[in-house]
Amino acid sequence: ETHSSAPFGMCGSGLRSFCVAGMNAAVRATVRVGLYTGAKVFFVHEGYQGLVDGGDNIRPASWESVSMMLQLGGTVIGSARCQDFRTKEGRTKAACNLVKLGITNLCVIGGDGSLTGANQFRSEWGELLADLVKAGKITVDEAKRSSHLNIVGMVGSIDNDFCGTDMTIGTDSALHRIIEVVDAITTTAQSHQRTFILEVMGRHCGYLALVTALACGADWVFIPEMPPEEHWEEHLCRRLMETRGRGSRLNVIIVAEGAMDRHGKPISSDMVKNLVSKKLGYDTRATILGHVQRGGTPSAFDRILGSRMGVEAVMALLEATPDTPACVVSLSGNMAVRLPLMECVQVTKDVTKAMAEGRFDDAIKLRGKSFENNWSTYRLLAHVHPPEAKSNINIAILNVGAPCAGMNAAVRAAVRIGITQGHHMLAVHDGFEGLACGLVEPLTWASVGGWTGKGGSHLGTKRTLPANLIEEISLSIAKFNIHALIIIGGFEAFVGGLELVTGREKYEELCIPLVVIPATVSNNVPGSDFSIGADTALNTITMTCDRIKQSAAGTKRRVFIVETMGGYCGYLATMAGLSSGADAAYIFEDSFNIHDLEINVEHLVEKMKTTVKRGLILRNEKCNANYTTDFIFNLYSEEGKGVFDCRKNVLGHMQQGGTPSPFDRNFGTKMGAKSVLWLTEKLKECYRHGRIFANTPDSACVLGMRKRALVFQPLAELKEETDFEHRIPKTQWWLKLRPILKILAKYKINLDTSEKASLEHIIKKKGLV
């Protein structure tokens, strides 16, 4: 274990004043992991202003001082505009305050302005100390002890405009706020056949607008990185008329606040509203969402992101030497990464330069892979005229297993991309059983309208596996002339896909390409780090745990035992434990015995002696056949007698319901689109002598998210990686986050077991700068 005597300060954003949801999770994790490593940790209140003013603004942080703050929006340590820090005099005062307290490590959470300011502070540090010694403000010894300042940054910004990071802290929560509004508006717009124009924040970055457009199936999006072509006004009106012509009762247009045309002239929501109402005579309304987007409770994703970044920031500070460049900790795919701060700032500036010079394709590339993928998916779905020539290909889509939020988004994207490719798209109702019984009907462009935001499964879904229905299924495939299959579902979809592949030996009709898209709240499908639906379920559990904790905080000395879904997979219990600040999360993959339960009970007894008089324990439904939720409840109730009382809660099927989260809508849309494009290519490869024949392993794949990319992996290969008895993959990436959960709950364990990130270079990675 590392024990550091070097104190460090936590500072909220500084040069521009703003705060975002999720910052508190980062503050909490940084404080607790800092204290765990033996460091002294200080809060710097009111951002850089607090650093300059010193005094009571820089206060020691304790373990309990960051309790009950995970669910709070904004930042509890405050953030303020600071002109003083822009001056050398102000930075000299700040250096003096840090030296007096012996703080040599600074963790800054903010946007690019705050982080650039931090880097300047670090590069001037030696000079500032020399000035302070000369002025007699500090002694030579004090200057020696604080000879070097380490800086690590975390990006907190709803705009997601910082290059090198897939997601900045606050972006996902802002998307949650936007989508809540969009959902509310679309219901009224459909009733009245209206056109709605929504203006979202983002300054000079179109990320929020672009993802919102994808997540609500908007007709048009205006983003600064890619202004519309000349004469866009006619094109827009034509698009809206076509949408209405296909039977849609509403139009949605998303405008980013920094949107402009090719000549740099701003495009506002009012301008678009006047254009539509004058040219088309449609009943049109414009809504500017404003600061609603910054507020509210942080989403589960932002809490986990903030917590992971906080841990990584402390590690980066403890490992820093005078030669390491100031870095930002960030997320790429699902991996924590460290990036040189000034390289990220440079690429962020390069985007602005590319936009100013009219190099819009470069601007989109510089924004990063995630932005580029979103843009290409949006273009595939929005800028289309279904082709006149049909391909005579029939692709069938079915949902298998338990329903989950986001399935409909995947179906909608697959259907619409299929139609743009000239294919006939077929819906199979009620999974493999429906396929065997011939419950197959065509799907049109209009029939999947508005599906993105709908929970559950419109196609209907069943857990029945195909092994005993293989003959009937092959007859249906022949009868409806099905050339390819898209199977959207959980572990049953994976096993069902394997059974169809086995059936190819006997039935030639099954020799068609097929793709499995993982969609289950359990997130237990081999070949993918994430499943559609897991994020929505995680948010549901997190919000419920928030309410439960609030109730416990009021009652005092109360411990809640909460049971989550997931089968044998502990993903939901572990991630919900991180996002809701649980004291323990019992899962099958991390086996536990009576001794461990005893330690947990003693830990809670000790906790009740502090100011934090409540506890939250999560238990995955199948973590242990004998240590049931009732057993754990009874054990805690008995052992806690006179110290705390217990309550239990089984969350049940509420975890499968609800409207999909922005992530699940976006993820489902990308997966649906990518699966059809892959099938289109596969069908060309498998077309021989006037018919489709596919029997190679790579013609039946799982489409999954692996680390940083969406990849297709043959079902046959994934068989080796699967524990079929417990319906889980043999290796799961999120298990390495469990030590963080234990450390944040004040257990003394070794942090070496958790994930490690090394410094990567962004400029080389982009290949454009």
Q: What is the set of active-site residues?
A: 159
DSSP string across 260-312 = B-TTS-B--HHHHHHHHHHHH---EEEEE-GGGGG-SPPPHHHHHHHHHHHHH
- List strand residue ranges (DSSP E) for 310-445, in order: 327-332, 335-340, 394-400, 424-428, 440-443
Distance, in Å, from the CA atom of 724 to the CA atom of 719, rounded to the nearest integer, reads 9
- Six-digit token pair at 392? 């005579």
Q: Which residues are within 8 A (CB) of 684 and not within 5 positions of it... i.e. 6 or more apart?
A: none
Residue type, 380: L
Shortest CA distance to 420 belongs to which of 387, 450, 390, 448?
387
**317-321: long-range contacts (C-beta < 8 A, 24 or more apart)?**
317/8, 317/105, 317/107, 317/150, 317/152, 318/2, 318/4, 318/6, 318/37, 318/39, 320/105, 320/150, 320/152
3-state DSSP of 52-89: HHCHHHEEECCCHHHCCCCCCCCCCCCCCCCCHHHCHH
Distance, in Å, from the CA atom of 663 to the CA atom of 675, rounded to the nearest integer, reads 18
Q: Which residues are annotated as a binding site?
A: 81-82, 111-114, 157-159, 194, 201-203, 257, 285, 291-294, 463, 520-524, 558, 565-567, 621, 647, 653-656, 727
Distance, in Å, from the CA atom of 189 to the CA atom of 240, rounded to the nearest integer, reads 14
| Helix (H) / strand (E) containing 254 | strand 251-256
Cα–Cα distances in Å, from 198 out to 92, 103, 192? Answer: 45, 46, 17
Q: b/e for 520-532, b at 16 or more Cβ within 10 A? A: bbbbbbbbbbbbb
Q: Which residues are annotated as a binding site for beta-D-fructose 2,6-bisphosphate?
A: 463, 520-524, 558, 565-567, 621, 647, 653-656, 727
Q: Which residues are within 8 A (CB) of 755 and not within 5 positions of it... i.e. 6 or more apart?
A: 335, 336, 736, 737
Residues paired with residue 226 on neighbouring β-strands, in sequence order: 223
Distance, in Å, from the CA atom of 284 to the CA atom of 273, rounded to the nearest integer, reads 6
Is the separation of the CB atoms in 254 and 269 below 8 Å? no
Distance, in Å, from the CA atom of 72 to the CA atom of 608, rounded to the nearest integer, reads 23
Is the separation of the CB atoms in 344 and 178 below 8 Å? no
Cα–Cα distances in Å, from 752 out to 396, 663, 738, 749? Answer: 48, 31, 12, 9
Shortest CA distance to 410 belongs to which of 25, 680, 176, 675?
675
Q: Which residues are annotated as a binding site for ATP?
A: 81-82, 111-114
Q: Which residues are annotated as a binding site for substrate?
A: 157-159, 194, 201-203, 257, 285, 291-294
- Six-digit token pair at 364? 């989109």
In this structure, what are the phi and psi dihedrals at residue 55, rounded to the nearest 5 degrees? 60, -130
